[in-house]
């Protein structure tokens, strides 16, 4: 496995040659500039975002998804802003734009693509629950990090459908997936996501934290822009793998747990409780 920062260079080469992935919606940049000012009027933000009906529809679907956990249905952008506030609305706006981008016109393996995408909503829900449990106080950043955690895999599946389908399906666990990605592409799916999101100039804590979801030699939590968000990314990835195939390798989250002064066994007890009480009954139907 490649074990240094050269993997980002390899990922950039792939990103720069992407054929099917469109650019982010034009209104995203304008909306992000507006929402960078917390005093901006809700009416102005809604006016800008509503210029893109597809993005608006996608944003409202994410806001109303069971994974976001709002108690009332949000019917319009201004209501979403009132309920969520500028900061959290801004983050869901990024999520909805990224979801819209993943709706490629032609997919060779749509079933696998949709499976990976649905997994992203589960990771987002896990991240949200961990943020609450750990009292980190994020207001949507954790949801975005979880939701976009599989974005690199979606890109690889779209661009290299035959190779990546084979890689994904033959990998028994996350360690094997990463090893097979490195053998085929000389980088990981998180390197791809980091390269693309950085190129699109998303808020830096998002690509940086997503990049650190795996315990690779060059992605330590200690050098993260926002260490606690990187911890959530790492723990969410582990938790998803644990739920999916009972993957329980302590080394995967050793650094994260050390930062939290937690023992692996105690974390597993907590995770099992969260799964039973908060996660296992989530309804994935209708998520697309």
Using DSSP's 3-state secondary structure scheme, residue 288 falls into coil
Provide Rg for the chain, Cα atoms: 18
User: What is the per-residue pLDDT for 282?
Assistant: 64
How many structural domains are present in the chain?
A: 2
* Res. 104: pLDDT tops 60: no
Q: How confident is the model at residue 2 (pLDDT cuts 50, 70, 90)?
A: very low
- Taking all residues of the chain, what is their mean pLDDT, rounded to a whole number? 87
Q: Are 234 and 210 in contact (CB under 8 A)?
A: no
Query: Is 75 found in the same domain as 168?
Result: no
Query: Is 168 found in the same domain as 41?
Result: no
**pTM of the model as a whole:** 0.85
d(CA 276, CA 88): 27
Check residues 118 and 265 and name the one with the higher pLDDT: 265
Query: Is 114 found in the same domain as 96?
Result: no
Of 197, 194, 190, 193, nearest in space to 213 by CA: 190
Q: How confident is the model at residue 209 (pLDDT cuts 50, 70, 90)?
A: very high
Least confident of 24-33, 117-126, 218-227, 233-242: 24-33
Query: Is 269 found in the same domain as 171?
Result: yes
What is the tens place of the pLDDT at every residue in 152-202? 999 899 889 999 999 999 999 999 999 999 999 999 999 999 999 988 888
Query: Is 234 found in the same domain as 118?
Result: yes
* Res. 102: pLDDT tops 70: no
Domain extent, residue 44, equals 24-103
Q: Are 127 and 236 in contact (CB under 8 A)?
A: yes
Query: Is 186 found in the same domain as 96?
Result: no
Pinpoint the alpha helices (H) of the chain: 6-16, 26-35, 42-49, 53-63, 77-101, 110-134, 141-147, 151-159, 161-170, 174-185, 189-199, 205-211, 227-245, 254-260, 264-274
Query: Is 156 found in the same domain as 126?
Result: yes
Query: Is 283 found in the same domain as 154?
Result: yes
94: number of CA atoms within 13 Å, CB side?
28
Query: Is 119 found in the same domain as 192?
Result: yes
Query: Is 195 found in the same domain as 93?
Result: no
For residue 220, give Cα distances in angstroms to 206, 234, 277: 15, 10, 31
The two tokens of residue 26 are 């034009």
């Amino acid at each position: 496995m490649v074990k240094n920062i050269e993997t980002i260079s390899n990922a950039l080469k792939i990103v720069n040659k992407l054929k099917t992935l469109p650019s982010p919606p034009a209104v995203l940049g304008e909306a992000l500039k507006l929402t960078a000012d917390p005093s901006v009027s809700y009416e102005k933000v809604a006016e800008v975002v509503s210029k893109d009906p597809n993005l608006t529809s996608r944003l409202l679907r994410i806001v109303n998804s069971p994974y976001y956990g709002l108690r009332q249905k949000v019917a319009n952008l201004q209501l979403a802003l009132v309920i969520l506030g500028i900061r959290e609305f801004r983050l869901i706006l990024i999520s909805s734009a990224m979801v819209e981008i993943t709706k490629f016109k032609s997919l060779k393996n749509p079933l696998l693509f949709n499976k990976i995408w649905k997994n992203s909503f589960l990771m987002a829900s896990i991240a949200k629950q961990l943020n609450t449990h750990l009292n980190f106080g994020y207001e949507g950043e954790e949801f975005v990090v979880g939701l976009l955690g599989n974005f690199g895999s979606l890109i690889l599946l779209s661009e290299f459908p035959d190779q990546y389908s084979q890689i994904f399906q033959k990998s028994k666990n996350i360690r094997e997936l990463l090893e097979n990605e490195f053998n085929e592409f000389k980088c990981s799916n998180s390197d791809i996501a980091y390269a693309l999101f950085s190129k699109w100039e998303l808020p830096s804590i998002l690509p940086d934290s997503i990049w650190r979801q795996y315990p690779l030699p060059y992605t330590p939590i200690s050098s993260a822009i926002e260490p606690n968000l990187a911890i959530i990314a790492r723990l969410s990835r582990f938790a998803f793998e644990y739920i999916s195939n009972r993957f329980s390798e302590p080394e995967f989250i050793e650094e994260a747990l050390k930062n939290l002064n937690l023992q692996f066994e105690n974390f597993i007890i907590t995770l099992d409780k969260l799964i039973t009480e908060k996660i296992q009954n989530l309804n994935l139907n209708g998520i697309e």
